[in-house]
Homo-oligomer: A and B are copies of this chain.
Amino acid sequence: MASDHTRSAILTAAERLYADRGFSDVTLRDIVAEAGVNLAAVNYHFGSKDELIAELFVTRSIATNRERLRELKAAEEQGGGRAPIEVILRALVGPTLRGCLGPENQRSTAARFMIRASIESVPPIRRIKNREIDHLRKFVGAMRRALPERSEVDIYWGLNFALAMAHHTIRESERLTKLSEGQCDLDDVEDVVARVVSVATMALTAGRVEAKAPSRVAAR
């Protein structure tokens, strides 16, 4: 094991290069040049290029998922096993958005890497995403408890739309900025979270629990 200096140098260099130039543009030779290590080191330490990418992505998404569940658990415990739907949705999309957006010039390498992963979706990453379903089921459970009268299908659609808004906003943030000529402020992450949560909440409560908190629905 020694100090694992080479191993972590590869991880750092790979994340930075993938974040900057995307997966399809970066070769192992680029990575080892940036890391200042030998070409064979990648296969020695990670087995293959795909496993290197997988490790990068898994590390980051584990962190996000942990934060998601932490927020969800805290909310449900505070509410005696049942959290308000807005808070559940916030726990679902908040960590993802906070992890990727924010002022562009101060975005971490990790953030930019996750944006790339969201845009390009290379095979090893797709494989990992497919295993995320179990994780999402925990949110389905919480949402069901929060909205017991709501049909199961509506819950799934609500979840789908919440994730849609969060991920699409991340993926197409540049286009939204250009389209709105800078008027949409994507640097204000908490505003983005509030907007997504607000719309997703409406999607899940409209036509049913109308009586509840109509003042919360307006974005901002």
8 Å CB interface, A122-137 against B: 122-123, 129-130, 133, 136-137
- Stretch of A72-80, A101-109, A170-178 that contacts chain B: A170-178
Q: A160-B168, A167-B168, A199-B203 are in contact. Are A184 and B153 (CB under 8 A)?
A: yes
Which residue of chain B has its CB nearest to the CB of A120? B121
Q: A160-B169, A168-B163, A179-B137 are in contact. Are A207 and B217 (CB under 8 A)?
A: yes
In the assembly, what is the distance between CA of A188 and CA of B175, in Å? 30
Chain B residues in 8 Å Cβ range of A196: 161
Interface residues on A, range: 35 or more
Task: Determine which of B137, B153, B199 lies in contact with A183 in the assembled complex, contact meaning CB atoms within 8 Å.
Answer: B153
Q: Are the CB atoms of A164 and B168 closer together than 8 Å?
A: yes
Separation in Å of the A80 CB from the closest CB of chain B? 27
User: Does A187 belong to the interface (CB within 8 Å)?
Assistant: no
User: Does A56 belong to the interface (CB within 8 Å)?
Assistant: no
In the assembly, what is the distance between CA of A152 and CA of B181, in Å? 11
Task: Determine which of B24, B157, B179, B199 lies in contact with A219 in the assembled complex, contact meaning CB atoms within 8 Å.
Answer: B157
Known: A164-B165, A207-B218. 15 other contacts (CB 8 A): A24-B123, A120-B120, A121-B121, A133-B178, A133-B179, A137-B179, A140-B179, A153-B183, A160-B168, A161-B168, A163-B172, A164-B167, A164-B168, A199-B202, A203-B219
